[in-house]
Amino acid sequence: MIWTTEDINIVWAKGTKVEGYDEDKYRKDACGAWIMRDKFGEIHNFGWEIDHIYPLSQGGDNKLENLRPMHYLNNRSKASDYPRYKVAITSNGTRNEETDKYIIVNEQTQKKLFTLYSSKK
């Protein structure tokens, strides 16, 4: 997928702001991993990609409600898993570190996505 600068900016804004850090440069993904705005698409300790919360392979699409920023390792670890998926990277203070845990997409997001995609099944 080729993303426009506008798409990237909108998805970046959905990342978690961290108090005391410049929100235009640093955020965290849904797994708690640090990401940097200028590392989009990079294989880097703070690199990130655009994640389809409800996977394309399950009928998801590129609607903004279905997109979020995610550390590239978390995005690859998640793959097509939904709503429960494996986390590869999280943070410990100001550092990213490997982990081996699972998390579940929050209920509010699941309800929104169910409304969007239930008719496609």
Spatial distance between the Cα atoms of 50 and 52, rounded to a whole number of angstroms? 7
41: nearest Cα among 13, 86, 4? 4
The token pair at 23 is 């929100």
Q: Write out pLDDT tens, residues 32-82.
A: 999 999 999 999 999 999 999 999 999 999 999 999 999 999 999 999 999
Contact assessment for residue 69 and residue 12, using Cβ atoms and an 8 Å cutoff: yes
The token pair at 84 is 């429960």
The token pair at 102 is 């699972």
Q: Write out pLDDT tens, residues 81-120.
A: 999 999 999 999 999 999 999 999 999 999 999 999 987 6
